[in-house]
Amino acid sequence: MDLQRIGDLLQPFLISNVARVSPSKAGFGAESASLNKEQLQQLSNYLDLLLRWNARINLTAVRRPEEIVTRHFGESLFAARHLFPSQTEAEVRTRVIDFGSGAGFPGLPIKIWAPEVELTLIESNQKKATFLREMIRKLDLQAASVFSGRAENFGGQANTVTLRAVEQFEDSLSTAARLVTSNGRLALLIGESQIKRAGEVATQFNWRDPIRIPQSSSRMLVVGTAAPE
């Protein structure tokens, strides 16, 4: 896909402090960012490889390239924009764990947005894990790795953990919460109907107001900070 087209499709997702659930906060302090040519090329390469692999293994039910860009890349970059509003904030080598990474969302687009983060993708499905390793190699991403096992068996933690579109949401949320360091962040890309349950399951987090994802009627970004131990 043409780089300009990818950039145009993604621009609505690169606005920070957009309309929140509370109408009184809608539009307050909105700022837009943009992707450079290298980042757009990485996303284009990502899309090409994803489409090829998706013909052989089921990485995503979304088949149309433009829909992949908006639904997967866009949502992931929306999270990246809010977690790392200035890419320079990632230069302190923030460690990110993407729980149940699947086809790499949101972890890989976060890495493309903030190249200095140390990224671990956790994916128990071996075919998907192989795809993720190939994508890391293809995109020449440094400080990025794949743990191809169950998250319960992963020994590390990170100060930013992401969770999106997983099965058995409550169990996965509990496991993801244990991967977050003290004062670290847990970022959820979930449906609006799951927000209340997230707060009930992960009570050790102080949750910010949910932020509605552009071009979606029910998808939300919810970020919680773990209480100090």
**pLDDT tens sequence across 2-52:** 999 999 999 999 986 544 444 333 333 456 688 999 999 999 999 999 999
Inform me whether the pLDDT recorded for 196 exceeds 70.
Answer: yes
Query: What is the model's pLDDT at position 208?
Result: 96
Residue 192 sits in which domain range?
A: 3-226
Inform me whether the pLDDT recorded for 163 exceeds 50.
Answer: yes
220: β partners: 190, 212
State the total domains in the chain.
1
Confidence of residue 104 (pLDDT cuts 50, 70, 90): very high
Domain CATH number, residue 146: 3.40.50.150
